[in-house]
Amino acid sequence: MKIVRTVNELVSITDTLKNDNKTIGFIPTMGYLHEGHTTLMDEGKKDADVLIASIFVNPLQFGPGEDFERYPRDEERDQKVSEQHGVDILFIPTVDEMYPQESTVKLHVNKRTDVLCGKSRPGHFDGVVTVLTKLFHITKADFAYFGLKDAQQVAVVKGLIDDLNFSTKLIAVPTVRETDGLAKSSRNVYLSDQERVEAVHLHKALRRGQQLIIDGEKNPVMIIEKVKKYIETYTNGQIDYVDLLSFPSLKLMETIDQQIIIAVAVQFRKARLIDNIIISENGTVPKAIV
């Protein structure tokens, strides 16, 4: 595995790869890698001749008071994990390398962001699409891999790729979970023992919503209320949101008549957890998400 720290070096490498007709898979991460990330790496090895991963904690997607400074970092371990899972090139730039000067162009996402996490994090997805636009150009990726745990991000990236005519193909990979159903996340380390026990009920609440749809319920308001009630009953976390929306357009619905997402965000004492399920109008899991 080759470690690259500058944009110019990576551009030179990817130019050569393209000249040699090699396909490139790309996995953007903020590091502190866990099984969710390594699943993306394993998927990437199936499709691409060369697999590139990046580790970059992007300051543009953190708002005031958010956890940029204390976001967990462990570069040495991340290097070992990346190599073990077949990454060929690991890109680890500094903030100054990625943003050497004040930007003259500002990217703004005007759809799919006023709901879910985007509603309470104004500007977050502007930061996401800014860094991804740079990374897609630098890596020249044929395939880019994203986990469906952050399904809103997947929907926004889908819009970015479609609207700006990137040749990169988005590969959405199912959420990786612990054996008890908790979605894997770098922020899980901040849960207390009691909160860790309670956190499993986020996924159980989503499954309850899914079962309601399977049983014939088509009213989004009714499903949202029952999912909220379940979370309030079994956890001490503060609900940020429970939403049911079309996917990937992320629009409100009066009745369930197409593919949807049920998504939750719950704030525990030191960790805000998100989870979701994406299902058809009948409650089944679709084969193709985006």
List the catalytic residues: 37
Annotated ligand binding at 35? The verdict is yes
Which pairs count as long-range contacts for 214-221, CB under 8 Å and 24+ apart, including other chains?
Answer: 214/282, 214/283, 214/284, 217/256, 218/255, 218/256, 218/257, 218/281, 219/255, 219/256, 220/244, 220/252, 220/253, 220/254, 220/255, 220/256, 220/260
Is 153 a known ligand-binding residue?
A: yes
90 labelled as ligand-binding? no
186 assigned ligand-binding residue:
yes
What distance in Å separates the CA atoms of residue 140 and residue 24, rounded to the nearest whole number? Answer: 7
Question: Is 34 one of the annotated binding-site residues?
Answer: yes
3-state SS class at 141: coil
204 annotated ligand-binding residue:
no
Give the position of tokens 């209320």. Answer: 225
| 32 annotated as belonging to a binding site for a ligand | yes
147 marked as binding residue: yes
Collapsing DSSP to helix, strand or coil, 109 comes out as coil
Supply the DSSP symbol for 177. B
Q: Which residues are documented as binding site for ATP?
A: 30-37, 147-150, 176, 184-187
Binding-site positions for (R)-pantoate read 61, 153
Residue numbers in the known binding site are 30-37, 61, 147-150, 153, 176, 184-187
